[in-house]
A and B are shown apart, each in its own frame.
Chain A
Amino acid sequence: MGLLGKTIGVAPIGCSVVAHQFMNVDMCEAAHGRAPAVASGIRRVHPERVVFTYQGDGDLASIGMGEIVHAAARGEKFTTFFINNGIYGMTGGQMAPTTLIGQRSTTSVDGRTREQAGMPLKICELLATLDGPDYIERVSLDSPAHIRAAKKAVRKAFEYQLAGKGFTFVELLSTCPTNWGLTPPEAMKRMREEVAAYYPLGVYKDTGKEAE
């Protein structure tokens, strides 16, 4: 897309704190959960650049819920990639806000229960209630076909940003074989069968399509 020399990224706290080592663009780290606020600040200084945040489920859906909701509501002109694997990876497999009912973690050893920890958060559905965002889609990285669909969603989010639209959001269901205690192929299977059942894939908001 030719964005390499004109893009600024924000890495979160979590497994992807070192995202700046893997993406060859100008990047900064944000405090835990604050990436949308940091990106809002960057956006004020460089209105003509492409800006994105890359955040996990603990970062975005737990500690950073205030920042993401308000950035979305403001229709901030940046893209958030939300990597949802339903677990705290970096700290060693604790329960996340998106951990499914029944799923084991190091802080829910017998599986998450509604009584003890409440229900998992559905972020796409929640953000889609706002008028600020222009594009919200949930994709899954569970198979070659779905990975190709995810690439299309990523591209579309950037295209919307380049076209001057407001907030764009792509949730990517992702595995964490290590902390799920499964082999990578088993983790992919669980994601297809169990995770996507609770977090349905699809486009939750698309103002470009609505306008057509």
Chain B
Amino acid sequence: MAKRFKVIFDRERCKGCELCRSFCPKQIIAMDTQVNAKGYCPAMITDQESCIGCQSCATVCPDCAIEIYQLEEGEA
């Protein structure tokens, strides 16, 4: 069975620079239409199941706002 991943964005830390979105090979990151407390549109994941766990988004994030976990079998 293919590995599954969970990507968590720290909404309040994100300043909406869109670097993660531009580097996602699966194009599954989008910018929220709701602003965060600082007034930025933070990044969010649109299709969790398609994530391949490449960590490109977390690597380019200048604000360390992205965490990626590998899910155990059966975990949601």
Q: Tell me if A's interface is mostly helix, strand, loop or mixed.
A: helix
A107 within 8 A of B: no
Could you mark each residue 18-62 of chain A with 1 if its beta carbon is under 8 Å from any beta carbon of chain B, else 0?
000000000000000000000000000000000000000000000
Residue with the greatest number of chain B CB neighbours at <10 A, chosen from A144, A184, A185: A144
| CB neighbours of B32 from chain A (8 A) | none
CA distance in complex: A148, B21 (Å): 18
| CB neighbours of B21 from chain A (8 A) | 185
Contact, CB under 8 Å: A185 / B56:
no
Contact, CB under 8 Å: B17 / A177:
yes
Chain A interfacial residues counted at CB < 8 A: 9
Could you mark each residue 139-170 of chain A with 1 if its beta carbon is under 8 Å from any beta carbon of chain B, else 0?
00001100110000000000000000000000
Nearest to B62 among chain A residues (CB) is: A184
| CB neighbours of A184 from chain B (8 A) | 17-19, 22, 62
CA distance in complex: A183, B21 (Å): 13
Could you mark each residue 53-67 of chain B with 1 if its beta carbon is under 8 Å from any beta carbon of chain A, else 0?
011100110100000
B69 within 8 A of A: no
Contact, CB under 8 Å: A188 / B59:
no
CA distance in complex: A148, B59 (Å): 8
| CB neighbours of A183 from chain B (8 A) | 17-18
Contact, CB under 8 Å: A143 / B18:
no
Per CB-CB distance, the 8 closest pairs between chain A and chain B, nearest first, are: A185-B22, A144-B56, A184-B17, A144-B59, A184-B19, A147-B59, A144-B60, A185-B18
Residues in A lying within 8 Å of B, measured CB to CB? 143-144, 147-148, 177, 183-185, 188
Residues in B lying within 8 Å of A, measured CB to CB? 17-19, 21-23, 54-56, 59-60, 62
